[in-house]
Amino acid sequence: MFNKRASGVLAHPTSFPGSYGMGDLGTGAYAFVDFLAASKQKLWQVLPLGPTGYGDSPYQSFSSFAGNHYLISFDELKAQGYLTDDDLASTPAFDPRRIDFGRTIPYKMEMLRKAYDNFAVGEKPPKFKQFCTKNKDWLDDYALFTALKDSYGGHEWTKWDTSLARREPAALKAAREKLADAIEFCKFLQYEFFRQWSALKKYANKAGVQIIGDIPIFVAHDSADVWASPELYLLDKDGMPTGVAGVPPDYFTAEGQLWGNPLYNWAVHKKTGYKWWCKRVAAVLSMVDIVRIDHFRGFESYWAVPFGEKTAVKGKWKKGPGKALFAALKKEFGELPIIAEDLGEITEKVNKLRVNAGLPGMRVLQFAFDAKGDSDYLPHNFESSLTVAYTGTHDNDTTVGWYNSTDEIYRDYLRRYLNVSGEDVAWDLIRMAIASSAVFAIVPLQDVMNLPSADRMNTPGSTDGCWAFRYTPEMLASWQAERLAYLVGLFGR
């Protein structure tokens, strides 16, 4: 899995071009795969693909198993006969370079409902029934959760009627009967998402491109996961977290990052043989070829913040499941096609856990230039080829933006290290990543396009303008493909 050099591009489907407010799994996605093939890239990394919740973040999902129905292609729905040209003729004019979630989501839901109404008229295809049966283990709970959430005006599950929040059988049975249509609508959306995603993945794999998915270590409190299995989390009698996840003050934020996710009850997970985690990894691996697990260090020790704190400063490190979890995963899957996101405050114990599990770690070149020349993120200091090199991640500024905003002393060291002027800094770092000894080199699409800070994907600790990056078709240019292909040939990827 990690013994052959390859390179790739990080781009989330929401960023793709299209007419419907955000990128989807339609023509823009297929054009991107074609670009990867022309660029001789063998990897496409995405962010989590689940239904987004708070702040429109893919890392705050309503389910660890469901797909993001906002990514469903309307053009494909039209090809299926579920939408018409007249339906699509009323599409508003959306900004092709930024996602306006407040306008886009209501429009998407209106059109998806039209598609479902047309789907529901005729006899449902056998593949739909097969999908529902195959995924019953998570789909039934997720569909009911979604229907209930809508019926309660979007409020989180702890604010529902107590009998529903506590999943009393009689209340759940009555809700399934009352909300049968909304439940079926949700199942249709999941069926269509997975049908379209499967076709796109097949197209990518046929073009020689493997997809790297993403598993956030934690789940959202307001999710089907927590509502359906509260015993797996540290909650009080009312279902509220007793502590929440985050990270201490670091490179990104002086007050740390308060994520707000509930903490796992690792003792219960251990008693089950980490069954939920095995199911979660299996579900993601059914969608992608390789998985990046976000915040790997939390498996060794995680930052626990008392519930109600306004920042992450008063948290404490607590022990995670450690090697026992990865032993369970190896027993289930054999060799683990997992990349460990090991950024931030990393101890020797975290490194040992990752190495013993046989997982490559990440090295981000933007973190390398501290003017001392001894950073672990410099290519000549990579511990081994069991490394994935990045110019930056979705949490970083674009390389152009980072270079323009960093201190002159760092810029000077970078110029001396590369023996370049800094005028083409994004591609200087792209070349460095691809030339490195790392087994994989991944480059955010924004760096391929030489884009400024305004086009960064996410700013940790902020919800303002995050996840909204889009590009237009002409921004994906043939010279970029040629330049990437040249570097692949030059450095044997």
Given this model, what pLDDT does residue 460 score? Answer: 85
Between residues 252 and 483, the one the model is more confident about: 483
List the catalytic residue out of 214, 222, 341, 397: 341
Position 372 pLDDT exceeds 80: no
61 with 50: CB under 8 angstroms?
A: yes
Token pair 């069954």 is at which residue?
Answer: 275
Both tokens of 453, joined, read 């800070």
Any catalytic annotation for residue 332? no
List the catalytic residue out of 294, 300, 397, 455: 294
CA geometry: angle 152, 157, 159, nearest 5 deg:
70
- The pLDDT-based confidence of 255 (bands split at 50, 70, 90) is confident
Percent of the chain with pLDDT over 70: 99
Any catalytic annotation for residue 294? yes
List the catalytic residue out of 395, 397, 428, 447: 395
Given this model, what pLDDT does residue 34 score? Answer: 98
Any catalytic annotation for residue 341? yes
CA nearest to 438, candidates 365, 374, 353, 329 = 365
Neighbours of 187 (CB within 10 A): 22
Q: pLDDT by residue (tens digit) across 341-365?
A: 999 879 999 999 999 999 999 999 9
| Mean pLDDT for the stretch of residues 138-162 | 98
CA nearest to 287, candidates 215, 206, 184 = 215
The CATH fold assigned to 6-491 is: TIM Barrel (3.20.20)
| Mean pLDDT for the stretch of residues 22-43 | 98
Q: pLDDT by residue (tens digit) across 441-455?
A: 999 999 999 999 999
Percent of the chain with pLDDT over 90: 88
- Residue 291, CA distances (Å) to 181, 212, 232 in order: 35, 5, 23
Position 465 pLDDT exceeds 90: no
Given this model, what pLDDT does residue 371 score? Answer: 67
Given this model, what pLDDT does residue 385 score? Answer: 83
In the chain, what are the domain boundaries? Answer: 6-491
